[in-house]
């Protein structure tokens, strides 16, 4: 008999959320491919944080965060200033380990993913926001 049914349910919910997040990242990647971007890394992990997608297009490096929620409006408000700082620092880490990209322009994008109606499969929409945020202070850089 399971001694802690609450944690079992929480683990299942966490796994489902992680699966939805991975599917949203694949949808966002497909969107970037259609726009002519070349993927460099997916789920790039550093000691400072994770970047969902790192892409290249011409002389531009794009660091993209994917936010999936049941409602598009909720996804839009899901990216906090703290998360933006984490992504910027992780981008700095990436560039410090890949000096060939130092001379390229860079951009921080967000892809919002709204899920389908409750129980429905698929996504209600993807919204790409180029240059969604920028370096707030060179001290972070």
Question: Mean pLDDT over residues 20-36, rounded?
Answer: 92
Would 117 be classed as within a structural domain?
yes
pLDDT: is 106 or 17 the higher one?
A: 106
Would 9 be classed as within a structural domain?
yes
Would 16 be classed as within a structural domain?
yes
Would 125 be classed as within a structural domain?
yes
Q: How many domains does the chain have?
A: 1
Instruction: Output the pLDDT for position 89.
Output: 93
Would 140 be classed as within a structural domain?
no
Tokens, residue 23: 């599917």
Question: Mean pLDDT over residues 55-76, rounded?
Answer: 89
Q: What is the pLDDT of residues 85-131, one digit of tens each?
A: 999 999 999 999 999 998 999 999 999 988 754 444 555 688 999 99
Sheet containing strand 38-46, strands side by side: 38-46, 49-57, 60-69, 105-115, 123-133
d(CA 19, CA 74): 18
Would 141 be classed as within a structural domain?
no
Q: What CATH code is carried by the domain that includes residue 45?
A: 3.40.1350.10
Q: What is the pLDDT of residues 30-65, one digit of tens each?
A: 999 999 999 999 999 999 999 999 999 999 999 999
Would 86 be classed as within a structural domain?
yes
Would 139 be classed as within a structural domain?
no
């Amino acid at each position: 008999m399971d001694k802690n049914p609450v944690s079992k349910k929480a683990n299942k919910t966490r796994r489902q959320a992680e699966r939805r997040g991975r599917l949203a990242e694949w949808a966002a990647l497909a969107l970037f491919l259609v726009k002519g971007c070349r993927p460099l890394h997916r789920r790039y992990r550093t000691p400072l944080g994770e970047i969902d997608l790192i892409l290249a297009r011409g002389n531009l490096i794009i660091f993209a965060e994917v936010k999936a929620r049941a409602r598009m409006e909720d996804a839009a408000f899901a990216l906090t200033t703290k998360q933006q700082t984490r992504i910027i620092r992780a981008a700095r880490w990436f560039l410090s380990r890949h000096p060939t990209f130092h001379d390229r322009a860079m951009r921080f994008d967000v892809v919002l993913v709204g899920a389908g109606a409750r129980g429905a499969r698929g996504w209600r929409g993807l919204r790409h926001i180029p240059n969604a945020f920028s370096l707030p202070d060179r001290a972070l850089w």
